[in-house]
A = this chain, B = another copy of it.
Amino acid sequence: MTANSREDILAAAKRVAQAHGYSGLNFRDLAEEVGIKAASIYYYFPSKADLAEAVARRYWEDTAAVLEGLLNESGDPIRALRRYPEIFRRALENDNRMCLHSFMSAEYDDLPEPVKKEVQTFADVNTSWLSKVLSAAKVVSPKQSQRRARAIFAAVAGAQLMARSRADIALYDALIDSYRVAGLLPT
């Protein structure tokens, strides 16, 4: 057991933020979970804004790694594309949590500027990957891949949000399936 407060704080903050958002992130509860005092968090992160920025950056970095892994292990782009919704499903499986990007998009007005920036990067990472894979799989023309990538990202996030509002993973699966039937996602 290697104690590492900074990493522990980051991991706990990520979990909290995916369930309660930026506004629901609080240092006392966070500290208790990590086993230190609330004030100690300020040793690692000068402010709540800095913590949230670090969490949001780590979040897209982790997602970028997952996406690359998905593409590699799937072998071909179309199979990777089919499995993309699994990533958002996993958050719901994790006690009905949701994508940090989605939660923080709702909280846009109350987000410090640096946090907004990292949140946008998460969207960029996702849409760039989708665009690349859509193009490689020849699902749409290279010219259309960026637009379709954004549509898929937005729609999948919306499905996750709606499923969360009923704590119903089966609804998420049904929505993704409907996207496939309608032609938004490849079958």
Contacts and interface: CB of A to CB of B under 8 A. Distances in A.
Contacts of A165: 101, 104-105, 108, 116, 119-120, 123
A183 interface: yes
Interface stretch (A30-38, A62-70, A147-155): A147-155
**A contact face: mostly helix, strand, loop, or mixed:** helix
A159 interface: yes
Given A148-B182, A150-B171, 18 more contacts: A20-B110, A24-B110, A102-B161, A108-B165, A123-B165, A147-B178, A150-B175, A151-B155, A151-B175, A151-B178, A154-B155, A154-B162, A154-B175, A157-B158, A158-B159, A158-B161, A182-B182, A182-B184
A107 interface: yes
Contacts of A148: 178, 181-182
A83 to B, nearest CB: 19
Contacts of A178: 147-148, 150-151
Interface in A26-73: none
By size class, the interface of chain A is 35 or more
22 contacts: A20-B107, A21-B23, A21-B106, A23-B24, A96-B109, A98-B106, A102-B106, A102-B161, A105-B162, A105-B164, A106-B164, A123-B165, A147-B174, A147-B181, A148-B178, A151-B179, A151-B182, A154-B161, A154-B162, A155-B158, A158-B161, A182-B183
Contacts of A116: 165
Q: Which of A21, A144, A148, A153 has the most CB of B within 10 A?
A: A21
Interface of A: 19-21, 23-24, 96, 98, 101-110, 116, 119-120, 123, 144, 147-148, 150-151, 153-159, 161-162, 164-167, 171, 174-175, 177-179, 181-184
Contacts of A164: 105-106, 108
